[in-house]
Homo-oligomer: A and B are copies of this chain.
Amino acid sequence: MSTTIDVPESSNTKGKTILLGNPARPGGWKKGIAIMDFILRLGAVAAALGAAATMGMSDQTLPFFTQFFQFEASYDSFTTFQFFVISMALVAGYLVLSLPFSIVAIIRPHATGPRLFLIILDTVFLTLATSSGASAAAIVYLAHNGNQDTNWLAICNQFGDFCAQTSGAVVSSFVTVVILVVLIVMSALALGRH
Contact B181 A123 (CB under 8 A): yes
With contacts A73-B150, A120-B188, A123-B188 known, what are 17 further pairs, Cβ within 8 A? A71-B150, A80-B141, A119-B188, A119-B192, A123-B184, A130-B130, A131-B134, A131-B137, A135-B137, A138-B138, A139-B142, A142-B142, A143-B150, A150-B153, A151-B153, A184-B184, A187-B188
A136 to B, closest residue via Cβ: B138
Contact of A191 among B141, B155, B181, B188 (CB under 8 A): B188
A12 at the interface (CB under 8 A from B): no
Contact of A115 among B143, B150, B192 (CB under 8 A): B192
Chain A 119-151 per-residue mask, 1 if CB under 8 angstroms from chain B, else 0: 110011011001111111111011101011111
How many copies of the shown chain assemble into the complex? 2
Contact of A131 among B133, B145, B188, B191 (CB under 8 A): B133
- Rounded to whole angstroms, the CA-CA distance of A35 and B142 in the bound complex is 43
A151 to B, closest residue via Cβ: B153
A25 at the interface (CB under 8 A from B): no
Interface of A is mostly: helix
Q: A134-B132, A184-B123 are in contact. Are A141 and B79 (CB under 8 A)?
A: yes
Contact A149 B77 (CB under 8 A): yes
Contacts of A181 in B (CB 8 A): 123-124, 127
A65 at the interface (CB under 8 A from B): no
Task: Write the nearest CB–CB distance from A177 to chain B, whole angstroms.
Answer: 6
- 10 interchain residue pairs of minimum CB distance: A131-B134, A135-B138, A77-B149, A130-B130, A191-B191, A134-B134, A116-B192, A112-B192, A138-B138, A152-B152
